[in-house]
Structure 1
């Protein structure tokens, strides 16, 4: 196991840092003190030393009227590590929280947050840091902005550490699995947790993270939960008790271990001693999976999971009242539909703002922002316009589905794939190409293969991709439904990726549409459909899902089926 250092702030206080003083400015005013602390951690066994720049971003330094000193402090901080430790350690350029929340929880915009972190990341990279570490973040939106900024500012590895409360979630409600899935998709190089609570509480967080990523995991706990004694904050865990948890982290498969508030060189030295004869356990390789997240919830999609309901009703097409409300700038009906769909069991909400005569970028940004606060489930952003998508992706606090991309325009495809990579979104691939509406399954397979190839070359992973078999109305083709079902089967055989489809398209223009939709959906489930876009309020659709869960083996003991049957009597 590789060791990081421990707390800096509490160590600076021991060396005379006064309340209200800027800890980061000590890099310039008291370099000897900072170097002494770094050297002590190195001698204790730390292989990575973190720069004293936790609060060196412009927004944090503004508290001390030092915003103009970002570059100077960063350069001094890296220089202090090198002066104290030479080339015996790796230098981790530290970036802590802004102390502010991003809209809509707070007043800070996503772009302002990115600019804040970009400046510090750039300064640390130029000063010679070996990697960047973003730590003690409680808002997944802030972590998204910081990670994007760090990747844009430099080509250094980036470590991302969230901070969790005693209930195992961040203050806004994000759990370790949800955060890890998003950060992995965005390209974080190491994922973990720091500060938070004591090592006992972070064991479970570590287990959860290791279960959903093959990226290295880092844990840096506090020396226990702080207590106030005689007007002073004290951390209760001494070096021996703190280090006693180290073998457990090694057994879980944690790759990097260090300390946060209240830990000292003595804590790290004891950890090094304890781990001397403890081998690092390599966790089981995580099988690739596809998942979408909101701020607080993860939804898994694929053959190993029960069918997922994607609600279709937030779509103004053919919905006069919703269209008129959106044109007036009112989103009350949109929010009511979202809540109704969630109450009816929707696992994901598809959101479409395709209304003529409005600023769709503004509308989509507003709706995604409001729905992400209101509804706990992940969202699907239904647009092919890169400008609309980017505005939505900036405000969405999770890993959404982009619905959709196709092969009709290479420039748009390239832009959307780049956005998906940057923001960690999953992408729905629709088998269309310029001047061709493919009627046969074989044509669709060919087009889908070309889109998948371009997505992988753009840096996306297979688990970032979902496939749409292209549902055409049977009113226009007697073989349309049959070719769609054949496409689903071939998708599974050729690519093994999750399938999503707009179910109700099959019955467009026909009477008794719910009856046709439910029958078609049942057939699609048998072919491997994973996440149909449907009306979750429709009773026939609800029954089709309940039946499919039972028949596909996702309803142990038929409990859900029996419960639903009893309610319908």
Structure 2
């Protein structure tokens, strides 16, 4: 077991004590007054922290005026390194200060570029990257992709939430955990916004969902505004340390402070908790997909995947795609949500249109009008990648098979962007006629995924029950659930032999999800058992 790891505390609070006015750019001081910045870093080092955050929270090209990002970030890393004395230096990245589309005007692509510039400027001399105080999962995703796409450093990410556990743009804690673990961050957590008392319960929720180390960096209580217009915090070092002791004892792995905390807060926190060891990580094994607003767990209840946005089964969708009519596409999604769908599938492949452009537009539109997670369905790797990159959440992906070419193209996308992927139990030899053959193919797919760093909880097997003898399909469902311990799904098309009666048998055999028309009462009744 390892001891707790400690972040430092607030930089802005210390600079305000040194005369920085409200609204001033603290990042500029890396160049104009490096001695002051290094001295603050050194005070935190002496207080006992293990990780020093660079003074780069707002050092991005959308905010900086008189200096370049490269100049400010390079100076900041140098200042932190000068005080580190063997401690780790974290390249600190905060929000851009702009809302992303569709709520604002900043595009996802531009946000990625802004974050990438910061990473390239500081990653060479830093030990890890800390993305913090994020209140929008879309911006969070852009930052994580930029960090991983422009460096090989460990990436930590923390969000700021309200007392109900929601981000500004609506995400809950489970959807944040699903997104970040899917993207492959090394640690996640909560910072800013709230004090340790308010964060206690929210931390426990995050700990219950997370399978990786959890970071808690609270403020020194809730912010208040004094008569002079300056923000201040009322929680002193002793009270802060007592609260952090409770949080650390409950399983936090990495702790520190945010706004209002000082070297005194950190020193007292370290003193109070230095006897504690980190609790062992507990992989949760949950299969989860998410949207910007929430998450869906594949558990005991069969999951309904609305399959109407598919030109192969819905002529109105085919016509809408031909005419570039996204209103019909979003109407279909909302109708399925009202009918009880948990997830909405999106397939836009028809001849004579640009599938990649159509999928991009569909994903953008659907994210504005439905809170449900999406299933991205395409046989084209480039279409999948374009959609997964822009998708604001952890998507369900359709699909991969046991064919080598399929696994070689789809699994890297799953690893890069996160997601839960549906795997068809077939390979170069087609669909095995027996349940045992489909089990063997599923085992091969799962083994290949694990070798690529994809957890088996993020694999859902489609046993291709509509092909061949349906009894073999039902038997395959049972075998795969019992022997492999993964989730299962059925995909239904116009030509399938699958009907409501078959679905009832499939649910009793361990079916976890199905792609169906949720507006069909007979089909939905099969899931109400």
Which position in structure 1 is the counterpart of 2:118? Answer: 120
Which position in structure 2 is the counterpart of 1:77? Answer: 76
Gap change, CA 1:287 and 1:233, over 3 Å in 2: closer
Which position in structure 2 is the counterpart of 1:36? Answer: 39
Contact 1:252 1:283 in 2 (8 A): no
Which position in structure 1 is the counterpart of 2:381? Answer: 386
CA distance in 2, matches of 1:58, 1:119: 8
Which position in structure 2 is the counterpart of 1:138? Answer: 135
Partner SS, residue 92 of structure 2: strand
1:150 pairs with one of 127, 147, 150: 147
Give 1:152-301 correspondences, 5 Å limit. 152-230=149-227, 231-277=229-275, 279-280=276-277, 282=279, 285-301=282-298
Cα RMSD after superposing both structures: 1.9
Which position in structure 2 is the counterpart of 1:429? Answer: 423
Alignment gaps of 5+ in structure 1: 509-515, 548-569
Deviations 1:432-487 (A, max 9, x none): 323634333233233323322222222211111110011336xxx5x2x1121122
Contact 1:185 1:424 in 2 (8 A): yes
Which position in structure 1 is the counterpart of 2:506? Answer: 524
CA distance in 1, matches of 2:400, 2:496: 23
Partner SS, residue 250 of structure 1: helix
CA distance in 1, matches of 2:55, 2:183: 26
Partner SS, residue 177 of structure 1: helix
Partner SS, residue 309 of structure 1: strand
Q: Verify: 1:482 aligned to 2:471, yes or no.
A: yes
- TM-score (norm: length of structure 1): 0.88
Gap change, CA 1:325 and 1:536, over 3 Å in 2: same
Deviation of residue 321 (structure 1)? 2.3
Give 1:328-339 correspondences, 5 Å limit. 328-339=323-334
Gap change, CA 1:276 and 1:458, over 3 Å in 2: closer
Which position in structure 2 is the counterpart of 1:15? Answer: 18
Which position in structure 2 is the counterpart of 1:552? Answer: none
Q: Verify: 1:397 aligned to 2:385, yes or no.
A: no
Deviation of residue 6 (structure 1)? 0.7
CA distance in 1, matches of 2:280, 2:522: 44
Deviation of residue 106 (structure 1)? 2.1
Greater mean alpha carbon deviation, residues 128-137 or residues 434-443: 434-443
Deviation of residue 20 (structure 1)? 4.5
Deviations 1:398-439 (A, max 9, x none): 11110111234x344322211111111111001232363433
Deviation of residue 394 (structure 1)? 2.0
Gap change, CA 1:282 and 1:20, over 3 Å in 2: closer
Gap change, CA 1:499 and 1:112, over 3 Å in 2: same
Which position in structure 2 is the counterpart of 1:52? Answer: 55
Deviation of residue 504 (structure 1)? 4.9
1:494 pairs with one of 483, 486, 496: 483
Which position in structure 2 is the counterpart of 1:539? Answer: 521
Gap change, CA 1:256 and 1:152, over 3 Å in 2: same
CA distance in 2, matches of 1:427, 1:65: 47
Which position in structure 2 is the counterpart of 1:94? Answer: 92
Which position in structure 2 is the counterpart of 1:2? Answer: 5
Deviations 1:500-529 (A, max 9, x none): 111455645xxxxxxx61100011112111
Deviation of residue 160 (structure 1)? 0.3
CA distance in 2, matches of 1:464, 1:76: 41
Partner SS, residue 308 of structure 2: strand
Give 1:283-362 correspondences, 5 Å limit. 285-302=282-299, 305-362=300-357
CA distance in 2, matches of 1:490, 1:438: 14
CA distance in 2, matches of 1:236, 1:114: 37
Alignment gaps of 5+ in structure 2: none
Partner SS, residue 19 of structure 2: coil
CA distance in 2, matches of 1:527, 1:506: 22
Contact 1:144 1:423 in 2 (8 A): no
Higher RCO (CA-CA < 8 Å; seq separation 6+) = 2
Deviation of residue 111 (structure 1)? 2.3
Greater mean alpha carbon deviation, residues 387-396 or residues 450-459: 450-459
Greater mean alpha carbon deviation, residues 310-319 or residues 256-265: 310-319
Deviation of residue 281 (structure 1)? 6.0
CA distance in 2, matches of 1:440, 1:407: 16
Partner SS, residue 315 of structure 1: coil
Which position in structure 2 is the counterpart of 1:108? Answer: 106
Contact 1:113 1:145 in 2 (8 A): yes
Partner SS, residue 433 of structure 1: coil
